[in-house]
Amino acid sequence: MYWNGRVDGEELDVLRIHQVVKIMTLEELITVDFDEKKVCFVSFNSDEGVRRNSGRLGAKDGWIQVKKALSGFPIFKEDLKFYDLKFPIEVVGHDLESAHAELANIVTELKKRNFLVVLLGGGHDVAFANYSGILQYASEKSIAPKIGIINFDAHFDMREYSNGRNSGTMFLQIADICKEKNLSFDYNVFGVQKFSNTKRLFDRADSFGVKYYFAEEIRTIPNDELYSILNRNDYIHLTLCTDVFHITSAPGVSAPQTFGVNPRNALPLLKTIARYSKNLTIDVAEINPTFDYDDRTSRLMANIIYELILCHFE
């Protein structure tokens, strides 16, 4: 339904993603050859975190539009295999917590089989489930795994969660988990907007030692800063909140940004992360088709996702 598009033939040099992607259940995916170069898309069909955070609804359908945009991209690496988890993760009623737990377990199981996992949201609360899955996997390898979080986002998403989690609380949740387990909280945010975060959030980020860069600083970030994050961690959690980008490039988001980042300025950083990360897991969130003129936002993020995949497997 989502994977379809133009067909120029069946020869290897004219194939497109929709012609080669294999749609499988989790039970089938965990039997796939461990040594394959492979990526698996996992869909998170939820607006619940956005609803709880008083955002504008519609992101639950973001993954659908991204798959449609990805479908027609040509295959450049014959040995790279594409997979898609057959059923999206759903929030039953308003039980976001159970959906996150299910998603985390899926991330863990797929990482055990050496997949590059790409989660497609849904609200940005998908990042909490992704981190939880990475941590579950990494904790089986080490008592104190080093997980670096790189978040391209206009927001810190470190709001209080005493009344329950939402799409703006996940990185404070993660910080508290790290404190409880005596783990390093290595959180780095690229594209922060001054007027999209309260003073309390800036103070909280500072108190946790969060490294952040404002949107206008993206073009001048030294490569050494990025390499430092990659080198000091054994796992990289790359999380992309689509509202980091300028409203003309990404109108279809939950919180559009007038002074957002130009995608061309972010792409070199993203490609470096994808190319040099030791153990990468990705999530993409807050694509809102309801407000997306001419599928501009989903097309942008599909292009970025494919660039990340190709760079990772260079």
Q: What is the mean pLDDT of residues 123-139?
A: 98
- Residue 36 phi/psi, 5° resolution? -65, 150
pLDDT digits (tens, 9 = 90+) for 188-247: 999 999 999 999 999 999 999 999 999 999 999 988 999 999 999 999 999 999 999 999
pLDDT recorded at residue 179 = 97
CA separation for the pair 56, 312 (Å, rounded): 33
Statement: residue 1 has pLDDT above 80: no
For the chain, give the mean pLDDT. Answer: 97
pTM: 0.97
CA separation for the pair 271, 150 (Å, rounded): 13
DSSP one-letter string for 114-132 = T-EEEEE-SSTTHHHHHHH
Q: Report the percent of the chain where pLDDT is more than 90.
A: 97
Counting Cα atoms < 13 Å in the Cβ hemisphere of 279 gives 21
What is the SS3 assignment for 281? strand
Q: At what angle do helices 296-312 and 263-276 cross, to 10 degrees?
A: 30
On whether the CB atoms of residues 268 and 221 are closer than 8 A, the answer is: no
pLDDT digits (tens, 9 = 90+) for 169-194: 999 999 999 999 999 999 999 999 99
